[in-house]
């Protein structure tokens, strides 16, 4: 098999020259002219080795290295860093951020080939460096605040765990969490602690250490309810790093991404296998839901991976029939949850998920059914 090398450099001449040299040696080449493109190509092309420039305008080589090393699906790819400098400090910093080897620019073709060969043969000799299995990501997204998104994400997670799927539920809603409180946990620190770290400190061990295991078996990453921590909404690279680690820990990763369009909403929806949009079938929530979803669809969310969860919290004769909501929004239904204010409140006060405390009720049934529907959509997504 031909080995693939990704070259990340903002200097077009280097890209061409080095690319050509390596192509002549029989390697397959992919190129990227900045760090951001480099990261997305690393994910899509899955190269066997990355040649990386240090000095680039958007993100320097060290930052690119840290991002690659914090993503378990990319962390194993060896990196050779290009530098115009020979300063010892730079090399030390590079090795600290996880670089495997160095090349000084301008590079002699023979030296380039020798380093590439050596690093590649070392990485082939350590077969442990293999990307781990990825969980399916199911994002619960509120088209408005307070519709029951957190309740549903938690309960569907517990229901899935009870059918033998291993589940991690993460409440990605900094400073506006409620999942901990409804489970009787008064000091949720997990999400805040991770989002406050620098990228190089977000890795499998640090993420795992912040998870809380619920007695259902579900593992939880909990958001705080300290309003000032809502500013962590902007920590999008950290969130992506947290999720790329969480995704290696279970069969299903359920994200409660709260409501509204925030800095992390689009990137996290893009990462998701399925998106469950929570909609209240009553005026004016239906109009707001349509506006929010149309905005998401026009900015790249795939309609085909999105389904609706209709949650009615109060019974009125003015509720809009589900078939009409489904037709208005143009996406299929994952399930319906009927009004159950007392059950929801009792569950919260007892610190137990509704689906455990009130399993034999209509609401319990509706949650189990929704979990089943979502699981069947996952199996389909897996075999496609």
Ligand X SMILES: Nc1ncnc2c1ncn2[C@@H]1O[C@H](COP(=O)(O)OP(=O)(O)OP(=O)(O)O)[C@@H](O)[C@H]1O
If one asks whether residue 262 binds ligand X (CB under 6 A), the answer comes out as: no
Per-residue x/- track, 348-377, ligand X (CB under 6 A): x-----------------------------
Three-state secondary structure string covering 52-66: EECCCCCCCHHHHHH
- Can you tell me which of 97, 107, 150, 363 binds Mg ion, judged by CB under 5 A? 150
16, 24, 92, 146: which one contacts ligand X (CB under 6 A)? 146
State the helix-helix crossing angle for 61-69 and 35-45, rounded to 10 degrees.
30
Q: Which C-beta is closer to ligand X: that of 71 or that of 229?
A: 229
Does position 313 interact with ligand X (CB under 6 A)? The reply is: yes
Q: What is the separation, in whole angstroms, between the first and last Cα of the chain? A: 26
Q: Is 151 in the site for ligand X (CB under 6 A)?
A: yes
Residue 155 contact, options Mg ion, ligand X, none, Cβ 5-8 Å cut-off depending on partner type: none
Q: Give strand ranges (E) for 91-186.
A: 101-104, 136-142, 167-171
The encoded tokens of residue 51 equal: 């040649």
CB of 322 to ligand X, least distance (A): 14
| 3 state DSSP class of 330 | coil
**Spatial CA neighbour of 36 closest among 203, 268, 237:** 237
Residues written for the chain: 384
If one asks whether residue 174 binds ligand X (CB under 6 A), the answer comes out as no
- Report what 199 binds from ligand X, Mg ion, none; CB cut-off 5-8 Å by kind: none
When asked if residue 136 is in the footprint of Mg ion (CB under 5 A), the reply is no
Q: Considering only the stretches 141-149, 213-221, 235-243, 264-272, report the one whose residues sit in contact with ligand X under the rule CB under 6 A.
A: 141-149
Q: Which of 380, 83, 378, 141 is nearest to 266 (CA)?
A: 141
Distance separating alpha carbons of residues 216 and 234, to the nearest angstrom: 32
Query: How many Cβ atoms are within 10 Å of 317's Cβ, its own excluded?
Result: 4
178 is a contact residue toward ligand X (CB under 6 A) = yes
Residue list 108-127, contact with ligand X (CB under 6 A): none
Is residue 136 involved in binding ligand X (CB under 6 A)?
no
Judged by DSSP in three states, 333 sits in strand
- Smallest gap from Cβ 55 to ligand X, in A, equals 43
Verify binding: residue 145, ligand X, rule CB under 6 A: yes
From residue 221 to residue 260, what is the string marking binding to ligand X with x (rule CB under 6 A)? -------------------------------------xx-
Among 148, 281, 353, 364, binds ligand X (CB under 6 A): 148
Strand boundaries in 62-115, DSSP class E: 79-83, 101-104
Per CB under 5 A, 97 contacts Mg ion: no
Q: What, of Mg ion, ligand X, none, does residue 335 touch, CB below 5 to 8 Å by kind?
A: none
DSSP SS3 for 302: coil
CA distance 353 to 357: 6
Q: CB-based contacts of 43: which residues, under 8 Å, 6+ apart?
A: 71, 73, 74
Catalog residues that contact ligand X under the rule CB under 6 A. Answer: 142, 145-151, 173, 176, 178, 258-259, 311, 313, 337, 339-341, 344-345, 348
Catalog residues that contact Mg ion under the rule CB under 5 A. Answer: 150
């Amino acid at each position: 098999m031909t080995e693939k090398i990704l070259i990340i450099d903002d200097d077009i001449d280097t890209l061409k020259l080095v690319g050509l040299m390596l192509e002549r040696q029989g390697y397959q080449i992919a190129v990227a002219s900045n760090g951001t493109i480099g990261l997305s190509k690393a994910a899509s092309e899955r190269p066997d080795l990355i040649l990386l420039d240090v000095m680039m305008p958007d993100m320097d080589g060290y930052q690119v290295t840290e991002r690659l090393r914090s993503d378990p699906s990319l962390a194993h790819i060896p990196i050779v860093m290009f530098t115009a400098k020979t300063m010892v400090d730079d090399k030390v910093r590079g090795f600290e951020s996880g670089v495997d080897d160095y090349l000084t620019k301008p590079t002699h073709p023979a030296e380039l080939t020798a380093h590439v060969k050596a690093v590649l043969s070392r990485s082939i000799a350590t077969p442990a460096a293999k990307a781990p299995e990825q969980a399916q990501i199911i994002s619960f997204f509120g088209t408005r605040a307070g519709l029951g998104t957190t309740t549903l994400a938690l309960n569907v997670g517990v229901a899935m765990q009870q059918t033998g799927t291993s589940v991690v539920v993460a409440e990605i809603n900094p400073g506006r969490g409620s999942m901990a409180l409804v489970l009787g946990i008064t000091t949720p620190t997990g999400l805040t602690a991770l989002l406050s770290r620098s990228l190089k400190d977000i890795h499998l061990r640090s993420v795992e250490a912040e998870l809380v295991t619920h007695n259902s078996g579900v593992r939880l990453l909990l958001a705080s309810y300290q309003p000032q921590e809502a500013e962590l909404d902007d920590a999008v690279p950290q969130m992506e790093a947290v999720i790329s680690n969480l995704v290696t820990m279970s069969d299903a990763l359920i994200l409660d991404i709260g409501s509204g369009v925030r800095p992390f909403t689009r990137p996290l929806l893009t990462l998701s296998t399925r998106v469950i949009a929570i909609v209240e079938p009553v005026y004016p929530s239906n109009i707001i839901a349509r506006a929010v979803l149309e905005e998401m669809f026009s900015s790249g969310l795939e309609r085909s991976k999105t389904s609706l969860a209709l949650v009615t919290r109060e019974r009125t004769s003015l509720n809009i029939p589900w078939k009409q909501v489904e037709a208005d929004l143009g996406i299929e239904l994952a399930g319906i949850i009927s009004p159950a204010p007392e059950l929801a409140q009792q569950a919260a006060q007892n610190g137990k998920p509704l689906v455990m405390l009130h399993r034999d009720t209509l609401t319990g049934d509706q949650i189990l059914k929704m979990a089943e529907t979502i699981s069947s959509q996952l199996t389909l997504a897996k075999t496609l």
